[in-house]
Structures are given as structure tokens and as C-alpha cells.
Amino acid sequence: MAATTENHDTSVPNDEVMNDAYGRGNIGESGELEDQPKTEEEYAQAILTLRAIVSSKEAGVIIGKAGKNVADLRDETGVKAGVSKVVQGVHDRVLTVTGGLQGCARAYSIVAKGLLEGAPQVGMGGVVQNNGTH
């Protein structure tokens, strides 16, 4: 009985390796496998862009009078933040926040707090009391 050996090309990752790498985010921009997983420090320094769909009314609260709220948000968190322009026939807008992990997290926290505490909610019968629970 003859022994058989299989030659595997170790330079080509198999499906299991690729799935694991994708799951950990170890695929570089060029599609190549990165040798090491990113560290917490690397994630903290990475720039990311987050987008959220907001109603036109919420966009107004986020932007504030003469853009004051969004300008304060940028100054306080160091992120780039903005809301898409009004498109005729579309009732929603896109909030875009770009920056470091901590800045984006802080910006979203400020926006959420402002939306919950800022403008009163309007229901079908008029203004609805907002006690912070939805």
C-alpha cells in the first residue's frame, strides 16, 4: 500500500481561513489577508463614517437654528458632521458623521440626547408629552 501525500498551496487561504478573517475584519483594502488583527489602539485611531436616516423634523433639531447645533457638535467631538439636503418628495434625510471611534460615539450620543430632550413630539392630536420612554 502506497502512502499518498497531498500538496496544498499554503499561499492561498482556504474558505475557513477567509471566513474567519472576514469575521475578524482582517481583510485589507486590497482584499489581501492582513497578518495581525487590529488592536484596540488601531481601532481607536481609525476613521469611520456612520450614516443614519432621520426625519426632516429630526434633521432640523440636529442642525439647529442657523446651523448652531451641528457646529457645536463638530467643535465638541472633533468629527465632521452634516445632514443631507432636502430632496423634493422625500421625507427623510441622511445624517453623516465621520471621525474617530470615540468622536463618532460621542457625537451620536449627543444627537440622541438632543432628539429625546429637544423638540416635543407631535402626534396626530397635537403635541404629545415625551417622558423619555418610547
Q: 96-107: per-residue pLDDT in tens? A: 999 999 999 999
Task: Name residues of the chain where pLDDT drops below 50.
Answer: 4-6, 8-9, 122-127, 134
Q: Are residues 57 and 113 in the same domain?
A: yes
The residue assigned the cell 465638541 is 76
Note whether 33 and 50 are same-domain residues. no
pLDDT of residue 41: 83
Q: In the chain, at which residue ranges do the beta strands (DSSP E only) sit?
A: 47-55, 80-83, 92-100, 121-123, 126-128
24 shares a domain with 73: no
Q: How many structural domains compose the chain?
A: 2
The candidate with the shortest Cα–Cα distance to 70, out of 105, 99, 101, 96, is 96
Distance CA 9, CA 113 (A): 54
Q: Which of 105, 85, 86 is closest to 97 using CA atoms?
A: 105
User: Can you give the pLDDT at residue 124?
Assistant: 46
Q: Are residues 57 and 94 in the same domain?
A: yes
Question: Phi and psi dihedrals of 29, rounded to 5?
Answer: -60, -30
pLDDT tens digits for 119-131?
555 444 444 555 5
**Residue 115's pLDDT is what?**
93
